[in-house]
Amino acid sequence: MNADLKTQIPDFQTIMLPMLKLLADGQPKSLNDVMTLLSSHFNLTQNHLKIKVPSGQMGLFRNRVGWTRSYLKNAGLIHYPSRGIYQVTDFGKDYLKTNPTDLRIKHLKKMPKYKEWTDTFNQDQPDLVDSTLTKDIVSKTPEEILANTVTQLNKQLATEVLDKLKENTFGYFESFVISLLQKMGYGEFREDSGTVTGGTGDNGIDGIIYQDRLGLESVYIQAKRFTTGTVGSPDIRNFIGSLALQGVNKGVFLTTSKFSDSAMKTAQDSKQQKIILINGQELSKLAIEYNLGVQEDNTIVIKKIDLDYFEE
């Protein structure tokens, strides 16, 4: 019975256009509001809503609505004015005025915001849910499909991490990058090895990591929380000047945005100071790798045959 009900639950691409239309009035709506409206739209019963994802940790329909929400946001069609609240954007309203009859990933790929998102996270892996890839998926081994799925999940998680960093204060971002570098092993000899110095009179230095107990070896940090735009060459030159003023030769420049080509060249050409640049994409990936601001959601155990056991 559950198998029949499961086939009646729409996939997340099918949910895209109905969800956008339900938000067309411009009023902010909670996840529960959206779930109620979409359940009614697709004629789903409580029995449908009780069906779980394979891990059993979430309702299948709720999970698909969550993925729909993420893709619509990445395309700039909706935004989150506050936690757990969804609202159509002006771009979303304009798109609905074109009277679309369908909305799927192939349509999102033509939208500027979605292209910007894919460029940001270097999405060289195809979307497994793209219907044009059915033959390609069939030709892949289960291990390849699993690896691609994990990649897609991590890209979406990286987007969420970066969004949260952009939403928070400058002070929070400065503390975050100190914590990240500590988790990466810099100054690991003691918990207070990192210091946030950002503020008035910081001389362009937002933090310091002490790499030894006496503080003889230090890494100086500049953190730029940009919601738009890129870090340019003047920012890097100012940072190099601040390092020289402090008499140190190691610096890490981190941003939620990107570095311009001239900024990267300025860092590479620096002879006296060694400058490492970490953009938003790399920053969010490092946060995931070192478990900062993220947590394990589910563990899948993959077993293989124990050939030694069957040896006589």
DSSP three-state, residue 55: coil
Residue 227: its pLDDT value, please? 84
Residue 282: its pLDDT value, please? 93
Mean pLDDT by 10 residues, the chain (312 residues): 80 95 94 93 93 81 91 94 90 96 93 86 54 50 74 87 89 90 74 59 72 73 90 94 88 94 94 92 93 84 76 66
**DSSP secondary structure code for residue 290 in this structure:** T
- Tell me how far apart the alpha carbons of residues 123 and 151 are, in angstroms, rounded to a whole number: 9
Which helix (H) or strand (E) covers residue 78, if one does? strand 78-82
**DSSP secondary structure code for residue 59 in this structure:** B
Residue 198: its pLDDT value, please? 58
Closest to 22 (Cα-Cα) out of 103, 83, 82, 131? 103
Structure tokens at 158: 């990286």
* 88 within 8 A of 20, measured Cβ to Cβ: yes
- Tell me how far apart the alpha carbons of residues 75 and 109 are, in angstroms, rounded to a whole number: 8
Residue 122: its pLDDT value, please? 61
Residue 201: its pLDDT value, please? 43
- Tell me how far apart the alpha carbons of residues 98 and 61 are, in angstroms, rounded to a whole number: 28
Structure tokens at 232: 């340019």
Q: Cα(first)–Cα(last) distance of the chain, in Å?
A: 45
Helices (H), 29-141: 31-41, 46-49, 60-74, 90-96, 105-108, 112-120, 134-138
- Tell me how far apart the alpha carbons of residues 287 and 246 are, in angstroms, rounded to a whole number: 28
- If you search the block for the tokens 């050409």, which residue do you land on? 269
- Tell me how far apart the alpha carbons of residues 206 and 172 are, in angstroms, rounded to a whole number: 11
Distance of CA 200 to the CA centre of its chain: 31
- Tell me how far apart the alpha carbons of residues 77 and 199 are, in angstroms, rounded to a whole number: 36
Closest to 226 (Cα-Cα) out of 162, 180, 269? 162
Which helix (H) or strand (E) covers residue 276, if one does? strand 274-278
Residue 131: its pLDDT value, please? 43
Strands 207-210 and 194-196: what pairing? antiparallel
- If you search the block for the tokens 């033959």, which residue do you land on? 135
Backbone angles phi, psi at 20, to 5 degrees: -60, -40
Query: pTM here?
Result: 0.69
